[in-house]
Structure 1
Amino acid sequence: MFPQPLMNHKIIQMAYVVRDIRETAKDWQETFGIGPFFLLEDINITDPHYRGKPQAVDFTVAVCQTGDIHVEFIQQNCDSPSCYRDMYAAGEEGFHHVGIIAEDYEKEVTRYTDMGFEVAFSGAMGPMDFCYVDTSSKMGCMVEVLENQPFIIDYFDNLRKASENWDGSNPIRSAAELF
């Protein structure tokens, strides 16, 4: 039996766990000609939970938009258990998750858990709830479910505008420009 469809969600994000976020961004810029990348450091996640238990994790993110795809690199900066370490040990890197924006966040998360998948990490960034659902046993990656909030829509719009107007200058920037 096929699961209930994704309610017209589309995959908007491809994310990778990396060893060196700046080096990876530089490699992608040189190889694919995409940019600029925006760095999010000292990320404040409200109410972070790893596999149902309170657990903070220190990580840095670099993001870029290319066409309709949001590319994200994640560098974990600590030894804490995390959904990133679930797939890649320290020093390893690779594809980690796809991302979707859910109109009805709770309903979408429940849809995944009803299929037997576990929420690997959850929290909030600003006004937006998000989680990683561990679909790796079936899909080879996790899925990040983002709550549809003006906060995240504005973020993606600003990221798209920056990529469309990029002239190659200032290839790695502060994410503060996006908010």
Structure 2
Amino acid sequence: MILHHLGYVVRDLSEAARRWYDVAGIGPFLVLDHVHFDTLTVDGRPAAFDHSAAFAAHGDLFIEIQEVHAATPAAAADFFRLGSLPALQHLAYVVDDPASTAARFEANDIPQTVAAATSGLSIAQYDLAPSLGFAVEIHPRTDELTALFEKVRAAADGWDQSTFLQPFG
């Protein structure tokens, strides 16, 4: 597995995007407002998670910042680390064989906590917070996922540094 992106939960997307630029010179962050999941479970139970997410290229990696507007039930709010903002919430990997990755985690007693899907994208998060302080997020490699991150990389090429947040478009 090769690390794809780091996912942070922050209080304010605009402020976080500016700080990432101040610290690492990266941007712009492309924003998806109020991301909708067709299905979402936390610990196998239906959940609701209203958030906006923004992505920027950083070398071979990407940075994701998320501003959470609401999360229910309480297990979802706890999992997304809403009590300790800002926080590194997950390390994300894109894999060709998500079933074997899931089997590896299960064999090592790493529980899948979140399962979500929308528009050709799916996400599985595994809870490593007790031992490492964050979750591991697994994405199957899909054309939709590849296209999304190609847009992020293209936005970074030739960026004029005038706006730190830009809509996906």
TM-score, structure 1 normalization: 0.86
**Once the 2 structures are TM-superposed, how far is the Cα of residue 98 of structure 1 from its aligned partner?**
0.5
Equivalent residue in structure 1 for 2:31, among 9, 19, 39: 39
Larger proportion of strand: 2
Equivalent residue in structure 2 for 1:25, among 5, 8, 17: 17
Alignment-derived partner of residue 124 in structure 1 = 117
Q: Matched residues in 2 for 1:62 and 1:119: separation?
A: 24
Q: Matched residues in 1 for 2:90 and 2:18: separation?
A: 21
Q: Which runs of 4+ in 1 moved over 6 A?
A: none
Conserved 8 A contact 1:95-1:141: yes
SS at match of 1:110: helix
**Once the 2 structures are TM-superposed, how far is the Cα of residue 87 of structure 1 from its aligned partner?**
5.7
Conserved 8 A contact 2:14-2:164: no
Give CA deviations for 1:4-38 in whole Å, capped at 9, x if unaligned: xxxxx201111111111111111212332210011
SS at match of 2:162: coil
SS at match of 2:101: helix
Query: Among the aligned pairs, what percent are the same residue?
Result: 21
Cα 1:167–1:82 change in 2 (3 A) is farther
- Aligned residues, how many? 168
Cα 1:84–1:62 change in 2 (3 A) is farther
Give CA deviations for 1:101-159 in whole Å, capped at 9, x if unaligned: 01012221222122111111111121122111112222221111001101111111221
Alignment-derived partner of residue 168 in structure 1 = 161
**Once the 2 structures are TM-superposed, how far is the Cα of residue 91 of structure 1 from its aligned partner?**
6.1
Q: What CA RMSD, in Å, does the superposition of the two structures yield over aligned residues?
A: 1.7
Conserved 8 A contact 1:17-1:88: yes
Conserved 8 A contact 2:3-2:92: yes
Unaligned stretches of 5+ in structure 2? none
Conserved 8 A contact 1:51-1:119: yes
**Are 1:156 and 2:149 counterparts?**
yes
SS at match of 1:156: helix
Q: Matched residues in 2 for 1:66 and 1:74: separation?
A: 16
Alignment-derived partner of residue 105 in structure 2 = 112
Q: Matched residues in 1 for 2:82 and 2:44: separation?
A: 21
